[in-house]
Structure 1
């Protein structure tokens, strides 16, 4: 730790474990939000396609029906792009869960040892860098 850091900036094992777990929760929350976005784009594409086809049957002018079909095509493309983000968020969730597991494996033992030891720990002021 550099000399400029204060004792308050020291990260505890519990904080590291909590933060690692939080990454997994955030990744899952982000994935659900992106899935909702994908669903909205798909719904808009379906609606625009339906309107284009309905207007074609009602003999609405071709530029209008084409514009609605273009909206449907672009909305489908957006849904596909968002689908790629969903796939990437799956990877992010997997990595975040691995981070949580690895952090617990590496640091959990230290936290357990600190919690259950019978040796008196040094005072923070004594071990602080000066």
Structure 2
């Protein structure tokens, strides 16, 4: 594997972006479950007022309750995704802090570097 400081820095930044995108996708999933729960609850209540049979209205309310439970479970994933995103941002910052100086030094040095053939593991 031929890793350069620039590649390490780029991958750290990309990881942060992917973590943020994952968090946004999970938040959208939570919102969808909440919307489904609201819709099923509305239908159950409306059918109850229209005197629709109890098994049907109960089934819709059960769907609403299950959708709320799913939204809650996804909420826990959102919290974990938030932690992941924060950790990824820290990883990016730490990588830049630790290795950015080396990348800068490599770009601005005036010492001839060793031939890559010489540095290759044998």
| TM class, shorter-length | over 0.9
Q: Please list every run of at least 4 consecutive aligned residues from structure 1 whose deviation after the TM superposition is greater than 3 angstroms.
A: none
Q: 1:38 aligns with which of 30, 33, 39?
A: 30
SS in 1 for 2:43: helix
Q: 1:54 aligns with which of 35, 46, 50?
A: 46
**Structure 1 segment 1-130 matched on structure 2, within 5 A:** 9-130=1-122
Distance in 2, matches of 1:53 and 1:98, equals: 47
SS in 2 for 1:60: coil
Structure 1: runs of 5 or more not aligned: 1-8
Distance in 2, matches of 1:38 and 1:84, equals: 10
Distance in 2, matches of 1:102 and 1:40, equals: 35
Question: How many Å apart are 1:23 and its aligned residue?
Answer: 1.0
TM-score by length of 1: 0.92
CA displacement, residues 23-62 of structure 1 (integer Å, 9 cap, x when unaligned): 1100110011011101110000000000000000111000
Distance in 2, matches of 1:30 and 1:50, equals: 30
SS in 2 for 1:129: coil
Question: How many Å apart are 1:128 and its aligned residue?
Answer: 1.5
SS in 2 for 1:118: coil
